[in-house]
Amino acid sequence: MMDLSSWAARRWSGRRVAFLRAASPPRMIAGVPSISRRGSVPPGPTGVFDEAFRCGTAVVRVPPAHDMAPVAMAACRLGDALIVVPDQAGARRLALALRRAGVTVALGPDDWALAAAGATVVGTRAAAWMPMANLAAAVVVDEHDEALKNERMPTWHAREVVLERARRRGGAPVVLTSPVPTLEALRAGKLFRPPRSAERDGWPTVEVLDRRDEDPTRGGLFAEGLTGRIRSDGRVVCVLNRKGRSRLLACATCGELVRTADGRFPMALVDTMLESYDGSETRPVVCSACGSTTLRNLRPGVARAREELAAMVGDDVDEVTAESEGRPTSRVVIGTEAALHRVDSADLVVFLDFDQELLIARQRVSEQALALVARAARLVGSRTTGGRILIQTRMPEHAVVRAAVRADPSIVATAERDRRREIGIPPYGAEALVSGAGGAEFIQGLGRPPGVDVRGPLDGRWLLRSASHDPLLDALQAATRPAARLRIEVDPLRV
């Protein structure tokens, strides 16, 4: 573990003490208990997971609602296993299933002493640092989930820690599971997948509402016929990743977009005033071109959309954002993607403006958009049980939309692989994002090291790129750290 922490400190350009802290028990312990071993894990039918474990490092593409107990059992049949999942609720369910099967389980982080004594470890990303004297196999569930990456400095990723840890344990087998595997995972090991018909049946039915023929300034947020679908279905979750009441306005008289005085940025309606996105400019609700006070809402936020939806369906509609407390109770729910985490199940999920997810200026936009669909698919279940997703879009031929409709994530993986390889971005290159009050001083001291391209600043951030990790990590390690706050994110997920 000491050697692993040294490796991680270089890999994510952080302090070694941060990793040693992650590997330490959350509280003082009196000692390591002795464990009386129970019988061996009961054998199960040989399947794709057993075959994957025989390959060393493997990726298993599973449908979104697939039960993870079989892969955990396959790992435990090999001995003490390390099983990392994105959320604590999933870890508890998996630990309970294994205990019922007779497996000695240490649930991280509270069962640190039990893990040190020798047991199968189940937990969230911090479980990657739990003690394991006899690591026999490892599993990372939903390796695509961004919750597996540490948000604070150093921004380590549990998947990479598990892979390195298994390699240092003599090549212990590792299985990465996901309905939408990342390119990092696909590069790490061989891909396994269930039969095509089984995988397709494991996804819900995805219907596309093509809005290309509608006038974008008059069509509104809800496509024709959508309201009736929402009224007639059971539990419905509508996803709109825009907070507030309005994100884009146009004059109803002359058609001009409502923008700042210099015309560079759109203005939104905040309470009773127009306000720029950074709050630097405000003015009354009036068109600067013709003086009209009647404005049309082209991109309503979730607050305004909730009002419109409640009026159309004639029922209570709950609004859910990351700041919301508690769980929604109404039959119809609308919110940001946080709604997909606050609702346990649904009959229908509607993406009201999926083009917003597809057009974000972000390197991993396609992977992240498909992961969002996979999250929704987990709520509604498979097509065999009636699960359905509706996607409103003006880009029905986009690779993400086609992959969702066909239940075939390889469509996105192939397109992304070719694009990223051509321009040399992760996993076919290395990146680091530098920000914070000490960013400028750090970049000045860094200079222009060989093999590293320094870009920026943009919004107070600098992007460092290289063809591989070694020159980038060497440069980051050699540079002097300023006294002011500094954030270095190696291989950022959102850039």
Within-domain flag for 424: no
Separation of alpha carbons 393 and 178, rounded Å: 25
Pair 171, 69 in one domain: yes
Clarify whether residues 164 and 240 are in a common domain: no
The reply to whether 480 falls in a domain is yes
Residues 406 and 258 in one domain: no
Average pLDDT over residues 292-307: 84
> Which range is least confidently modeled, 83-87, 109-113, 149-153, 279-283?
279-283
pLDDT at 359: 84
Q: What is the pLDDT of residue 267?
A: 83
Instruction: Specify the range with the lowest mean pLDDT, choosing from 29-38, 50-59, 406-415, 436-445.
Output: 29-38
224 versus 77: the higher-pLDDT residue is 77
State the pTM of this model. 0.89
pLDDT average, residue stretch 224-230: 87
Q: Which of 235-239, 264-268, 360-364, 447-451 has the lowest mean pLDDT?
A: 264-268
276 pLDDT exceeds 90?
A: no
Per-residue b/e over 318-332, b at no fewer than 16 CB within 10 Å?
Answer: bbbbeeeeeebeebb
Q: Is the pLDDT of residue 278 over 60?
A: yes
* Residues 274 and 378 reside in one and the same domain: no
Evaluate whether residue 419 is within a structural domain: no
pLDDT of 265 reads 76
Q: Is residue 219 part of a domain?
A: yes
Task: Choose the final residue of a domain: 364, 391, 414.
Answer: 414
Q: Is 52 found in the same domain as 11?
A: yes
E strand segments, 124-214: 137-140, 174-178, 190-192, 205-210
CB 147 within 8 A of CB 155: no
Residue 448: inside a domain, yes or no? yes
Is residue 326 situated within a structural domain? yes
C-alpha distances in Å from residue 100, one per residue of 105, 106, 209, 213, 304: 10, 13, 45, 56, 48
Confidence of residue 297 (pLDDT cuts 50, 70, 90): confident
Amino acid identity at 64: P
420 assigned to some structural domain: no
Is the pLDDT higher at 59 or at 280? 59
Same domain flag for 8 and 23: yes
Q: Which of helix, strand or coil describes residue 276?
A: strand
Per-residue pLDDT at 40 = 63
With contact defined as beta carbons under 8 Å apart, do 353 and 360 qualify? Answer: no
For the chain, percent of residues with pLDDT exceeding 70 = 96
Residue 298 above 80 pLDDT? no
229 and 377 together in one domain: yes
DSSP 8-state assignment for residue 38? -
Is there a single domain that holds both residue 231 and residue 92? no
Domain extent, residue 275, equals: 247-294
- Is the pLDDT assigned to residue 317 strictly greater than 80? yes
The pLDDT of 224-234, averaged and rounded, is 86
Name the pLDDT band for 36 (thresholds 50, 70, 90): low
The answer to whether 475 and 462 are in contact (CB under 8 A) is no
Judge if 452 and 373 occupy the same domain. no
pLDDT in tens, 457-487: 998 999 999 999 999 999 999 999 999 999 9
Residues 304 and 399 in one domain: yes
Give percent above pLDDT 90 in the chain: 73
Q: What is the CATH number of the domain that holds 469?
A: 3.30.70
pLDDT at 38 > cutoff 90: no
Structural domain count of the chain: 4
- In this structure, are 234 and 281 located in the same domain? no
Query: CB-based contacts of 25: which residues, under 8 Å, 6+ apart?
Result: 109, 112, 113
End-to-end CA distance of the chain: 31
pLDDT band of 172, cuts 50, 70, 90: very high
Query: What amino acid is encoded at 341 in this protein?
Result: H
* Model confidence at 255: pLDDT above 80: no
Q: Average pLDDT, whole number, for the chain?
A: 91
CATH number, domain containing residue 390: 3.40.50.300
> Last residue of a domain, which of 355, 379, 414?
414
Least-confidence region, from 47-51, 106-110, 262-266, 453-457: 262-266
Residue 273 DSSP class: E
- Name the band, by pLDDT with cuts 50, 70 and 90, for residue 304: confident
Instruction: Verify that 287 and 315 share a domain, yes or no.
Output: no
Calpha distance 259→283 (Å, rounded) = 11
Neighbours of 137 (CB within 10 A): 24
At which residue do the structure tokens 């590069």 appear? 187
Q: Is residue 18 part of a domain?
A: yes
Over the stretch 189-212, which tens digit does the pLDDT of each residue have?
999 998 999 999 999 999 999 988
Mean pLDDT value across residues 45-50:
78
